Protein backbone atom coordinates (compact mmCIF):
# COMPACT_ATOMS: atom_id res chain seq x y z
CA UNK A 1 0.00 0.00 0.00
CA UNK A 2 1.07 3.57 -0.77
CA UNK A 3 4.42 2.25 -2.03
CA UNK A 4 5.20 5.00 -4.56
CA UNK A 5 8.28 6.98 -3.67
CA UNK A 6 8.57 10.41 -5.25
CA UNK A 7 11.73 10.72 -7.33
CA UNK A 8 12.27 6.97 -7.83
CA UNK A 9 13.30 6.00 -11.37
CA UNK A 10 9.94 4.36 -11.97
CA UNK A 11 7.90 6.99 -10.11
CA UNK A 12 4.43 7.16 -11.60
CA UNK A 13 3.31 10.31 -13.39
CA UNK A 14 0.94 12.18 -11.10
CA UNK A 15 -1.30 15.20 -11.53
CA UNK A 16 1.06 17.45 -9.49
CA UNK A 17 4.04 16.18 -11.49
CA UNK A 18 2.41 17.47 -14.69
CA UNK A 19 2.28 20.98 -13.22
CA UNK A 20 5.95 20.61 -12.32
CA UNK A 21 6.74 19.59 -15.90
CA UNK A 22 5.25 22.88 -17.11
CA UNK A 23 7.33 24.78 -14.58
CA UNK A 24 10.47 22.91 -15.70
CA UNK A 25 9.72 23.32 -19.41
CA UNK A 26 9.87 19.53 -19.87
CA UNK A 27 7.41 18.55 -22.61
CA UNK A 28 4.64 16.03 -21.84
CA UNK A 29 4.14 13.17 -24.34
CA UNK A 30 0.62 11.78 -24.57
CA UNK A 31 -1.10 9.21 -26.82
CA UNK A 32 -4.55 7.70 -26.99
CA UNK A 33 -4.93 4.02 -26.16
CA UNK A 34 -7.79 1.54 -25.99
CA UNK A 35 -6.40 -1.82 -24.81
CA UNK A 36 -3.98 -3.39 -22.33
CA UNK A 37 -1.29 -4.53 -24.80
CA UNK A 38 -0.86 -1.11 -26.38
CA UNK A 39 -1.02 0.43 -22.90
CA UNK A 40 1.96 -1.67 -21.78
CA UNK A 41 3.87 -0.68 -24.93
CA UNK A 42 3.17 3.04 -24.45
CA UNK A 43 4.05 2.83 -20.77
CA UNK A 44 7.35 1.03 -21.45
CA UNK A 45 8.35 3.55 -24.09
CA UNK A 46 8.03 6.75 -22.12
CA UNK A 47 4.51 8.04 -22.76
CA UNK A 48 3.55 10.26 -19.82
CA UNK A 49 -0.21 10.54 -20.24
CA UNK A 50 -2.37 7.81 -21.76
CA UNK A 51 -5.80 8.94 -22.90
CA UNK A 52 -8.75 6.64 -23.45
CA UNK A 53 -10.37 9.05 -25.86
CA UNK A 54 -13.87 8.84 -27.24
CA UNK A 55 -11.99 8.81 -30.56
CA UNK A 56 -12.42 5.07 -29.96
CA UNK A 57 -15.83 5.54 -31.59
CA UNK A 58 -14.06 6.40 -34.84
CA UNK A 59 -10.81 4.40 -34.83
CA UNK A 60 -11.99 1.26 -32.97
CA UNK A 61 -15.73 1.11 -33.63
CA UNK A 62 -15.71 2.60 -37.14
CA UNK A 63 -18.25 5.37 -36.61
CA UNK A 64 -17.96 8.70 -38.45
CA UNK A 65 -18.04 10.70 -35.19
CA UNK A 66 -17.46 10.26 -31.46
CA UNK A 67 -21.15 10.79 -30.67
CA UNK A 68 -22.26 7.11 -30.47
CA UNK A 69 -19.70 6.29 -27.75
CA UNK A 70 -21.29 5.43 -24.41
CA UNK A 71 -20.00 5.61 -20.86
CA UNK A 72 -20.00 1.80 -20.71
CA UNK A 73 -17.68 1.70 -23.73
CA UNK A 74 -15.20 4.11 -22.14
CA UNK A 75 -15.34 2.34 -18.77
CA UNK A 76 -14.62 -0.99 -20.51
CA UNK A 77 -11.62 0.35 -22.49
CA UNK A 78 -10.29 2.36 -19.53
CA UNK A 79 -10.25 -0.71 -17.30
CA UNK A 80 -8.40 -2.65 -20.02
CA UNK A 81 -5.83 0.12 -20.46
CA UNK A 82 -5.36 0.46 -16.69
CA UNK A 83 -4.28 -3.19 -16.54
CA UNK A 84 -1.40 -2.45 -18.92
CA UNK A 85 -0.03 0.64 -17.17
CA UNK A 86 2.63 0.95 -14.48
CA UNK A 87 3.75 4.55 -14.67
CA UNK A 88 1.78 6.71 -17.10
CA UNK A 89 -1.13 8.86 -15.92
CA UNK A 90 -4.48 7.47 -17.12
CA UNK A 91 -7.03 9.96 -18.41
CA UNK A 92 -10.49 8.88 -19.64
CA UNK A 93 -12.96 10.80 -21.78
CA UNK A 94 -16.46 11.60 -20.64
CA UNK A 95 -18.53 10.78 -23.75
CA UNK A 96 -21.27 12.87 -25.35
CA UNK A 97 -24.05 13.85 -22.92
CA UNK A 98 -22.47 12.15 -19.91
CA UNK A 99 -21.71 15.54 -18.32
CA UNK A 100 -24.81 17.43 -19.42
CA UNK A 101 -25.44 18.57 -15.84
CA UNK A 102 -23.52 18.40 -12.58
CA UNK A 103 -25.12 15.26 -11.05
CA UNK A 104 -24.67 13.34 -14.32
CA UNK A 105 -21.05 14.50 -14.62
CA UNK A 106 -20.26 13.40 -11.06
CA UNK A 107 -21.87 9.99 -11.52
CA UNK A 108 -20.17 9.44 -14.90
CA UNK A 109 -16.74 10.53 -13.67
CA UNK A 110 -17.06 8.34 -10.58
CA UNK A 111 -17.46 5.29 -12.84
CA UNK A 112 -14.39 6.19 -14.91
CA UNK A 113 -12.31 6.54 -11.74
CA UNK A 114 -13.73 3.71 -9.60
CA UNK A 115 -14.49 1.09 -12.28
CA UNK A 116 -12.05 2.17 -14.99
CA UNK A 117 -9.11 3.19 -12.85
CA UNK A 118 -8.69 6.63 -14.44
CA UNK A 119 -6.76 9.28 -12.51
CA UNK A 120 -8.33 12.14 -14.44
CA UNK A 121 -11.41 12.68 -16.61
CA UNK A 122 -11.61 14.78 -19.76
CA UNK A 123 -14.60 16.79 -20.96
CA UNK A 124 -15.16 19.21 -23.81
CA UNK A 125 -16.10 22.88 -23.77
CA UNK A 126 -16.65 25.70 -21.31
CA UNK A 127 -19.93 27.57 -20.68
CA UNK A 128 -22.34 25.32 -18.77
CA UNK A 129 -19.50 22.75 -18.43
CA UNK A 130 -17.65 25.05 -16.00
CA UNK A 131 -20.04 24.09 -13.19
CA UNK A 132 -19.20 20.41 -13.69
CA UNK A 133 -15.46 21.12 -13.79
CA UNK A 134 -15.77 22.94 -10.47
CA UNK A 135 -17.92 20.21 -8.92
CA UNK A 136 -15.47 17.48 -9.99
CA UNK A 137 -12.43 19.43 -8.82
CA UNK A 138 -14.07 20.14 -5.46
CA UNK A 139 -14.52 16.39 -5.05
CA UNK A 140 -10.86 15.73 -5.91
CA UNK A 141 -11.51 14.25 -9.32
CA UNK A 142 -8.83 15.83 -11.53
CA UNK A 143 -10.15 17.29 -14.77
CA UNK A 144 -8.66 17.75 -18.22
CA UNK A 145 -10.58 20.37 -20.20
CA UNK A 146 -10.68 20.30 -24.01
CA UNK A 147 -11.14 23.42 -26.17
CA UNK A 148 -10.82 24.39 -29.83
CA UNK A 149 -12.07 21.68 -32.16
CA UNK A 150 -14.22 19.75 -29.70
CA UNK A 151 -15.43 16.71 -31.70
CA UNK A 152 -18.65 16.29 -29.69
CA UNK A 153 -19.73 19.67 -31.18
CA UNK A 154 -19.18 18.51 -34.78
CA UNK A 155 -22.75 19.29 -35.85
CA UNK A 156 -22.56 22.87 -34.56
CA UNK A 157 -19.18 23.37 -36.30
CA UNK A 158 -20.47 21.77 -39.52
CA UNK A 159 -17.39 19.52 -39.74
CA UNK A 160 -13.94 19.01 -38.25
CA UNK A 161 -12.51 22.49 -38.79
CA UNK A 162 -9.71 24.56 -37.29
CA UNK A 163 -11.12 26.85 -34.58
CA UNK A 164 -10.00 30.32 -33.50
CA UNK A 165 -8.85 31.71 -36.83
CA UNK A 166 -11.03 34.85 -36.51
CA UNK A 167 -9.95 37.42 -33.90
CA UNK A 168 -13.30 37.26 -32.08
CA UNK A 169 -13.19 33.45 -31.92
CA UNK A 170 -9.59 33.58 -30.70
CA UNK A 171 -10.52 35.99 -27.88
CA UNK A 172 -13.42 33.71 -26.91
CA UNK A 173 -11.06 30.73 -26.74
CA UNK A 174 -8.58 32.66 -24.58
CA UNK A 175 -11.43 33.62 -22.22
CA UNK A 176 -12.66 30.00 -22.13
CA UNK A 177 -9.15 28.72 -21.39
CA UNK A 178 -8.91 31.05 -18.40
CA UNK A 179 -12.41 30.04 -17.29
CA UNK A 180 -11.72 26.27 -17.31
CA UNK A 181 -8.47 26.80 -15.39
CA UNK A 182 -10.24 29.02 -12.84
CA UNK A 183 -13.01 26.42 -12.47
CA UNK A 184 -10.37 23.90 -11.40
CA UNK A 185 -9.12 22.02 -14.47
CA UNK A 186 -5.60 20.62 -14.06
CA UNK A 187 -4.84 20.12 -17.75
CA UNK A 188 -6.13 21.56 -21.03
CA UNK A 189 -6.20 19.90 -24.44
CA UNK A 190 -6.16 22.40 -27.30
CA UNK A 191 -7.25 20.79 -30.57
CA UNK A 192 -6.82 22.32 -34.03
CA UNK A 193 -6.22 25.94 -33.17
CA UNK A 194 -3.64 28.26 -34.73
CA UNK A 195 -0.18 27.76 -33.23
CA UNK A 196 0.13 31.42 -32.19
CA UNK A 197 -3.16 31.26 -30.28
CA UNK A 198 -2.14 28.02 -28.49
CA UNK A 199 1.21 29.62 -27.61
CA UNK A 200 -0.57 32.61 -26.10
CA UNK A 201 -2.94 30.43 -24.05
CA UNK A 202 -0.04 28.24 -22.90
CA UNK A 203 1.90 31.29 -21.78
CA UNK A 204 -1.05 32.90 -19.96
CA UNK A 205 -2.27 29.76 -18.12
CA UNK A 206 -0.72 28.24 -15.00
CA UNK A 207 -1.96 24.74 -15.94
CA UNK A 208 -0.24 22.67 -18.66
CA UNK A 209 -1.65 22.61 -22.19
CA UNK A 210 -1.52 19.55 -24.44
CA UNK A 211 -1.81 20.29 -28.13
CA UNK A 212 -3.11 18.31 -31.07
CA UNK A 213 -2.84 20.43 -34.20
CA UNK A 214 -1.98 23.38 -31.96
CA UNK A 215 1.70 23.94 -32.69
CA UNK A 216 4.95 23.29 -30.87
CA UNK A 217 4.58 25.75 -28.01
CA UNK A 218 2.04 23.77 -25.96
CA UNK A 219 3.40 22.13 -22.81
CA UNK A 220 2.83 18.70 -24.36
CA UNK A 221 1.42 16.89 -27.38
CA UNK A 222 -1.18 14.18 -27.90
CA UNK A 223 -1.93 12.06 -30.98
CA UNK A 224 -4.42 9.33 -31.70
CA UNK A 225 -2.32 6.12 -31.73
CA UNK A 226 -3.84 5.01 -35.05
CA UNK A 227 -2.63 8.26 -36.69
CA UNK A 228 0.86 7.79 -35.22
CA UNK A 229 0.99 4.25 -36.67
CA UNK A 230 -0.38 5.36 -40.04
CA UNK A 231 -3.33 2.96 -39.91
CA UNK A 232 -6.19 5.50 -39.80
CA UNK A 233 -8.25 4.96 -42.96
CA UNK A 234 -8.53 7.91 -45.35
CA UNK A 235 -6.49 11.08 -45.52
CA UNK A 236 -3.93 11.63 -42.74
CA UNK A 237 -4.81 14.75 -40.69
CA UNK A 238 -2.30 17.54 -41.29
CA UNK A 239 -1.34 17.66 -37.61
CA UNK A 240 -0.38 13.98 -37.37
CA UNK A 241 2.72 12.10 -38.47
CA UNK A 242 3.30 8.44 -39.29
CA UNK A 243 6.02 7.58 -36.75
CA UNK A 244 6.01 3.89 -37.78
CA UNK A 245 7.44 4.77 -41.20
CA UNK A 246 11.15 3.92 -41.10
CA UNK A 247 10.90 2.15 -37.71
CA UNK A 248 11.01 -1.58 -37.18
CA UNK A 249 8.31 -1.92 -34.54
CA UNK A 250 5.39 -0.24 -32.81
CA UNK A 251 7.59 0.17 -29.71
CA UNK A 252 10.24 1.99 -31.76
CA UNK A 253 7.58 4.24 -33.32
CA UNK A 254 6.22 5.17 -29.89
CA UNK A 255 9.74 5.83 -28.55
CA UNK A 256 10.49 8.00 -31.61
CA UNK A 257 7.33 10.02 -30.97
CA UNK A 258 8.18 10.53 -27.29
CA UNK A 259 11.70 11.64 -28.21
CA UNK A 260 10.39 14.01 -30.90
CA UNK A 261 7.96 15.61 -28.43
CA UNK A 262 10.60 15.96 -25.71
CA UNK A 263 13.16 17.50 -28.10
CA UNK A 264 10.49 19.70 -29.74
CA UNK A 265 11.18 18.12 -33.14
CA UNK A 266 7.44 17.32 -33.32
CA UNK A 267 5.22 19.05 -34.25
CA UNK A 268 7.04 20.86 -37.07
CA UNK A 269 5.56 23.89 -38.83
CA UNK A 270 4.01 21.59 -41.46
CA UNK A 271 1.86 19.98 -38.72
CA UNK A 272 0.51 23.31 -37.41
CA UNK A 273 -2.08 25.89 -38.49
O1 LIG B 1 -10.90 11.44 -28.08
C2 LIG B 1 -9.70 11.68 -28.23
O3 LIG B 1 -8.91 10.82 -28.61
C4 LIG B 1 -9.24 13.03 -27.94
C5 LIG B 1 -7.86 13.40 -28.37
C6 LIG B 1 -7.82 13.57 -29.83
C7 LIG B 1 -7.35 14.60 -27.66
O8 LIG B 1 -9.97 13.81 -27.41
Evaluate whether 222 touches 30 at the Cβ level (below 8 Å): yes
Q: Is 221 in the pocket of ligand 1 (CB under 6 A)?
A: no
For residue 212, give the DSSP letter: E
- Compute, in angstroms, the gap from residue 268 CA to the centroid of ligand 1: 20
Alpha-carbon distance of 242 to 232, in angstroms, equals 10
Confidence grade of residue 99 (pLDDT, cut at 50, 70, 90):
very high
Alpha-carbon distance of 111 to 81, in angstroms, equals 15
Alpha-carbon distance of 207 to 134, in angstroms, equals 15
| Atom number in ligand 1 closest to CA 93 | 1
Closest CA to 218 of 230, 200, 236: 200
Please choose from 68, 81, 189, 190 the residue to mutate so as to test ligand 1's pocket, defined by most ligand atoms within 8 A of CB.
Answer: 189
Burial of 259 (C-beta count, 10 Å sphere; 0-12/13-18/19+):
middle
Evaluate whether 209 touches 199 at the Cβ level (below 8 Å): no
Q: Is 191 a catalytic residue?
A: yes
The one catalytic residue in 115, 131, 169, 191 is 191
Of all residues in the chain, what percent carry a pLDDT higher than 70? 97
Q: What is the mean pLDDT of residues 120-143?
A: 98
pLDDT for the residue numbered 112: 99
pLDDT above 60: residue 86: yes
Confidence grade of residue 5 (pLDDT, cut at 50, 70, 90):
very low
Q: Is 219 in the pocket of ligand 1 (CB under 6 A)?
A: no
Q: Rounded to whole angstroms, what are the CA distances from 134 to 137, 150, 182, 208?
A: 5, 20, 9, 18
pLDDT tens figures, 23-47: 999 999 999 999 999 999 999 999 9
Alpha-carbon distance of 195 to 98, in angstroms, equals 30
Alpha-carbon distance of 213 to 191, in angstroms, equals 6
pLDDT tens figures, 213-267: 999 999 999 999 999 999 987 888 999 999 999 999 999 999 999 999 999 999 9
pTM: 0.96
Q: Quick one: angle between helices 102-114 and 71-84, nearest 10? A: 30
How crowded is the C-beta side of 222, counted as CA atoms within 13 Å? 26
Residue nearest ligand 1's atom 1 by CA: 53
Domains of the chain: 15-271 (3.20.20.60)
Amino acid sequence: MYASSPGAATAPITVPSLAQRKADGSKIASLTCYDASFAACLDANGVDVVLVGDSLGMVVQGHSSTLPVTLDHVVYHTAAVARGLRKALLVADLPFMTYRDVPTALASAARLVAEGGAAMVKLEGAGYVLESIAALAERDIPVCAHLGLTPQSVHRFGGYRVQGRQASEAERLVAEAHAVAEAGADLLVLECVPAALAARITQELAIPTIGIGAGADCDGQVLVIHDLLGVTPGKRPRFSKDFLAGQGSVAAAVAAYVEAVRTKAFPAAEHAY
